[in-house]
Amino acid sequence: MSWFTYVHVDLLLVRGRVQLRQDFPGDASLLMTEFQLNDAGRYRCEVVDGLEDKSAVVDLQLQGVVFPLVFPYQHSKGRYHLSFIRAQQVCEEQGSTLATLRQLFQAWKEGLNWCNAGWLADGTVQYPITRPRMPCGGHVTAGVRSYGRRHLHQQRYDVFCFSSSLRGTVFYLQPIRKMNFTEAQQACQEAGAQVAKVGQIYTAWKFKGLDHCEAGWLADGSVRYAINRPRKNCGPLEPGVRSFGFPPPQHKHGVYCYKSEDL
């Protein structure tokens, strides 16, 4: 008996975490692992056997305490360089997905305050403001401000990415001397790890309490550090991930490495 199976899912969200299992001819089970908050939705599996076909639809709802982790991301050239398609790719490269409006709104309620507009998953461009001020739309009511829908290919903005899990550990590594970007990559490899992504340092800061007052290289060529206990000489007086932008790769810094649980 020949049969064909396909699954209607958002591959960007579940790539590598969904598979089909066949226990006997004509049977197929959809298996998902490492659930994330963005996995909620409708999944359809169809089995085709010659002229016969059967399908099943499952609505997946995830319940529990939601800790929103939405972070803004800019291109290395500065603000407003990302089309919608490129914004999707950037979030995926940083170990995350495009944030939804609901996730951005929840993050705003948790204190996210960002003056630059960014893409969301529905193709709209918005930004969260908790402290209204003139350079950020004026002294009007705080909230999530919207530019509405924008052209997905022609217009450029920043992006808001979302992450909900970290299967591994992020740690700061500084050998005897600070390193350029290439040396930083080698140092992480020698430690049995890889240079951490932006989404990974945000997730480690949010969910695992990463707190280190020294800047280090990340995989995209940016230099950042994470602070959970604000203190003197460690930047602003609120927790967060601080960014030094994208310095020339020959500059010297430490590095944040990521070691997966699977390594």
Question: In this structure, which CATH number among 3.30.565.10, 3.40.630.10, 3.10.100.10, 3.30.360.10 belongs to the domain 70-162?
Answer: 3.10.100.10
What was the pLDDT predicted at 167? 82
What was the pLDDT predicted at 236? 86
What was the pLDDT predicted at 242? 95
What was the pLDDT predicted at 170? 96
What was the pLDDT predicted at 30? 64
Q: Where are the chain's structural domains?
A: 4-60, 70-162, 168-260
What was the pLDDT predicted at 176? 83
CA 233 to CA 28: how far, in whole Å?
58
- pTM assigned to the model: 0.73
What was the pLDDT predicted at 133? 82
Residue 239 main-chain phi, psi, to 5 deg = -60, 155
What was the pLDDT predicted at 141? 81
Beta bridge partners of 242: 225
What was the pLDDT predicted at 79? 92
Tell me, yes or no, if the two domains 70-162 and 168-260 fold the same way.
yes
Low-confidence ranges of the chain (pLDDT < 70): 1-56, 58-68, 262-263
What was the pLDDT predicted at 100? 95
What was the pLDDT predicted at 66? 45
Q: Check: CATH 3.30.450.20 for 168-260?
A: no
CA 6 to CA 46: how far, in whole Å?
6
